[in-house]
Structure 1
């Protein structure tokens, strides 16, 4: 690819795929074998997110390549996604399809995933946080709902939650004419929640969606996207009938204190700063982007004097959750764990480098007095 062609590809990427964490843009431009042709054509190859991006690339290169044929063998992800989930406690999402690639995030048990192309035993997926990355194909499974959640012909048959209903009112051979879809109306809030069921894993992490089936004293029966039913402590579930408060966000985050810092981590076994924010907010029914710079673009600005529990503090490449006042909880790489620090110079946990580098303070939830 010549420098002019490289510039053309970069222009299209800037417009259509400025953030490769959430938009796929993997493009190469190569010259065809010359053979007897003194002006060999060029081949556009790789994978892009949308047909619009593909057409923009072709147009740019055809304008540049007067007298040369531009051929494409581009794959487009748009329209090829397949609804999937995972039945593993947690799975790594990597930047490239091999086990030595960087872990960019993780997906939790029962997560709502969209799977795309395959490569060498890996699948490209979009995560609930919007990330695109690669997981081992063996970690994925079809989303399912338990049969007695729905009106089915055979009460012993599980059916796919993905809508593949045909005109005869059947889905995967099962009568679902009167079926209502499985919907998440609850979320797990405890970092490691044991459940009473015969299925694996034996625990589920905080941030996992569930559907509430029934209650019994201090327990609740739920189902997950995997089709598994389980009985959990009622205190480990937040119902999505209302959004949680900033105090609820803090309560979840505090449960992760002393959790080891792990780049891309999302669980009590290891978590990073924006992962802690994602899990804490997911646990009260609010989905936010995965990374700190993406989270910073949301919410409303607040001043340090008005910080309330659950507000977010942003630093260069870092994010923390306010406890209200000067204290905040965060997954801090320098401490190698989730810890509490303060903006107050007189506080024992004051960190000057953090206090002097705050770039923004944001609120995602209504102020306590506004509820």
Structure 2
């Protein structure tokens, strides 16, 4: 019961911490919510991986680099890492993948909670969106868990 309450609380903290992007340096003890929040508002740039502009997979690389987790550069290759996770079992930090091009996996984001995910939108830059409504509702393909329980606890503390 305590673990479930802790996970709900961690997800709530993650959601409540999203605000304007900050320019504070990354600390070694940074949480997932702090890492994601650092990039909210960064403009979209195809092929970008910095605060000057980033695409969806570049955003994933930047966030998970804070936790020393190496991932492939592009979303379709990122979708081959970790372990598959059912949509109803998603937890903060899981990668969620979408087919936005009609040609297979072409977009990735980081699941937050309550059907919301953080991603680099081509029209809005790094932002939060709902997975179950609008554009992304019919484009969801799969999700992958790239953290084990120990690294997950460190990320959402």
Deviation at 1:313, TM superposition (A): 0.5
2-side partners of 1:265 and 1:192: how far apart?
A: 18
Tell me what 1:238 maps to.
28
2-side partners of 1:359 and 1:281: how far apart?
A: 21
Tell me what 2:117 maps to.
328
Greater strand share, structure number: 1
**Contact 1:254–1:329 under 8 Å retained in 2:** no
Asked if 1:318 is matched to 2:86, the reply is no
SS in 2 for 1:280: helix
Any idea what the Cα deviations from partners look like across 1:114-136, whole Å, max 9, x if unmatched?
xxxxxxxxxxxxxxxxxxxxxxx
- What TM-score do the two structures reach when normalised by structure 1? 0.32
- What TM-score do the two structures reach when normalised by structure 2? 0.71
**Contact 1:281–1:287 under 8 Å retained in 2:** yes
**Contact 1:312–1:321 under 8 Å retained in 2:** yes
RMSD of equivalent CA atoms: 2.3
Tell me what 1:101 maps to.
none
SS in 1 for 2:62: helix
Of 338, 347, 359 in structure 1, the residue corresponding to residue 141 of structure 2 is: 359
Kindly report which structure 2 residues correspond to 1:81-160, keeping only aligned pairs within 5 A, or say none: none
Tell me what 2:61 maps to.
278
Structure 2 residue ranges without an equivalent (≥5): 1-20, 100-105
Structure 1 residue ranges without an equivalent (≥5): 1-189, 195-235, 345-349
SS in 2 for 1:338: strand
SS in 1 for 2:140: coil
1-side partners of 2:33 and 2:88: how far apart?
A: 18
2-side partners of 1:367 and 1:302: how far apart?
A: 14
2-side partners of 1:308 and 1:325: how far apart?
A: 9
1-side partners of 2:24 and 2:137: how far apart?
A: 35
Kindly report which structure 2 residues correspond to 1:190-209, keeping only aligned pairs within 5 A, or say none: 192-193=23-24
Tell me what 2:70 maps to.
287
Deviation at 1:353, TM superposition (A): 2.6
More RCO (CA 8 Å, sep 6+): 2
2-side partners of 1:191 and 1:273: how far apart?
A: 19
Deviation at 1:259, TM superposition (A): 1.0
2-side partners of 1:249 and 1:276: how far apart?
A: 13
SS in 2 for 1:237: coil
Tell me what 2:16 maps to.
none
Tell me what 1:343 maps to.
131
Deviation at 1:324, TM superposition (A): 2.4
SS in 1 for 2:135: helix
2-side partners of 1:238 and 1:357: how far apart?
A: 35
Deviation at 1:282, TM superposition (A): 0.5
1-side partners of 2:33 and 2:82: how far apart?
A: 17
Structure 1 segments of 4 or more deviating over 2 A?
190-194, 248-251
Return the index of the structure with the highest Cα Rg.
1
SS in 2 for 1:259: coil
